[in-house]
Structures are given as structure tokens and as C-alpha cells.
Amino acid sequence: MGDGVEPESSDSLRTFGAVLQALREHAGLSREEFAEQVRFSKHTVASVELGRRMPDESLVEASEGVLGNTGALRRAAVHLMRQPGLAAWFRQWARLESLAITLYTYECRMLPGLLQTKAYAEALSEAQLPPLDDAQIEERWAARAERQKLLLERPNSAFSFILEEHLFLRRTGGADVTRGLIDHVLEVSEFRNVEIQVMPVVQEAHAGLQGPIRLLETPENKWYAYNEGQESGQLIADAKVVSVLQRRYARMRSQALTIQDSVSLLQRMRGDL
């Protein structure tokens, strides 16, 4: 299915936030006072307490220090990463992704989860082996739809996607599904914080032939990369490796069609269906 199988439930985020707020209030700290002590913004603390944002590991650790080192927050944070529907190898990346200020994605296998429609995701699930039942397919889509809220809820985060033209030419799920998919991608491309480029099928120079690339930048300006295979994934923190992938992605941005030409191509492809 790609993208690891997807994120934690919003209920668990709200539960963690409620625990954090209760401990903060028990310590007699206002949200502003607490934010100053843990060295995060008041806005970030509020987002976590209201269950709108995944807690960063450094926030969890700082909060423990300020609130008495009870271990309650550490245990609650671990529980967040054990929710059904989230592949074990995807957990670290999902947490980082929910906090990222920059996210780059190059895909040559299927449309990234952040851009999929329900019909497209269901077509992928229905073709999966071993087979999935209806409940599993619906659960996967619900989780993916929840994750897609990142595009709207993080308007100050920059998202870049480079997509191979053949992902649309394959017509996964049929012509109707592909029409809906292209319409959705065109709609998302209008978001101010999203850039979508198409890599044409005919391209003599291509820096991404080694496979998909995912990169992100944290609020602390640290970069990570992620590679995912058939049944495994790898979070990459090695600065040298990340640098190589950054250079490849930068080269691909110059090799792919411009944003405007990518939109024009997708519109033509939509008209040909």
C-alpha cells in the first residue's frame, strides 16, 4: 500500500493531550509558563494539549523534567506509536512527518498516500496480497484520510511532490478512478504550501532512477530521509546519506516539468480519459 499503513488515531492524541494538560495544571503552571520552561511555543503546547499535533520526543522529555518525572508522559507517548494500522517500521517517520516544516516526496510506484483518493486507495487495497477484507480496507483508508489533513492543518509547512507521469498512465482502478485522482491532484496543487511536478516518461537524464525518495526537515532544522520496501522501511538520519538524497531530489526538480507545465500535462491527460 505504500506509506507504511498510516498514522495514529486522533482519539489517542486527544488522550495524550489531556494527560499533559492535567499534569501541567496540577503543577500550577499556565500554558504560557509551561511553554517557556519546556522551550516550545505556547501555540505548540496548545496544539498538543488539544490533540491536534503529535508530541515531539524532545517535548515529551522536557515535559517530564518540568512535571516531576513521573514517567506518565513517556508511557503515553509510546502508546501513541502502537496504534492499529501503523506499521512498526513506519512509526518513527509518521511522528516526524506530523511535525515537519518541509516534506519532499518522489514516487515512481504509486501516488503517495498524502495525494490519494478513496477510490484509488481502495483499488490498491483490493489488489493487495495477501487479500484484505472490507473492514481492513476501510480502516486503511480512514487512517490515510486522517493523515492527509496535514496538507490543510499545516499551512506553514512546505510540501513538494515529484510524480512519475506513468503513475497516471497506468490507470490503476480504471479510467473513472484515474479521472478522480487527477482532479484531486490538481485541486491539491492549488494549495499555497504544495508544489507538484510531473517527471515525464521520456526523460534522457533522471537523478532518481535508484528509487523513491522521501525527505523532511524538523522544526529544529534537522533533515531525515525514509526508504520503504515491500515489507520494511528504514529511517535515515546519517547526514551524509541524507545529503546525497537531497542533491538527487534537487536535480530532479530541475529535470521534471515545471509546476505550470505539470498542471497543463495533467489537464491534458484528464481530457484524454
Under 8 Å between Cβ of 16 and 40? no
Under 8 Å between Cβ of 266 and 185? yes
Confidence of residue 9 (pLDDT cuts 50, 70, 90): very low
* Top-confidence residue, 57 or 31: 31
Q: What pLDDT is stored for residue 6 in this prediction?
A: 41
Identify how many contiguous H helices and E strands the chain contains and give both numbers: 13, 6
Q: What pLDDT is stored for residue 114 in this prediction?
A: 93
Q: pLDDT tens digits for 252-269?
A: 999 999 999 999 999 999
* Whether residue 45 has pLDDT greater than 50: yes
Q: What pLDDT is stored for residue 107 in this prediction?
A: 96
Q: pLDDT tens digits for 241-251?
A: 999 999 999 99
178-196: average pLDDT: 97
Under 8 Å between Cβ of 206 and 199? yes
Q: pLDDT tens digits for 63-119?
A: 999 998 888 888 777 666 544 455 556 767 877 888 899 999 999 999 999 999 999
Q: What pLDDT is stored for residue 89 in this prediction?
A: 61
Q: How many residues can be counted in the chain? A: 273
Q: What are phi and psi of 194, to 5 degrees?
A: -125, 130
212 closest CA partner among 227, 200, 198: 227
Instruction: Give the β-pairing of 223-228 and 213-217.
Output: antiparallel
Q: What pLDDT is stored for residue 7 in this prediction?
A: 39
Neighbouring residues of 153: CB distance < 8 A, sequence distance ≥ 6: 52
**Percent of the chain clearing pLDDT 70 (strictly above):** 90
Q: Is the peptide bond before 130 cis (omega within 30 degrees of 0)?
A: yes
234-244: average pLDDT: 93
Quote the CA–CA distance of 78 and 5 in Å, as a whole number: 18
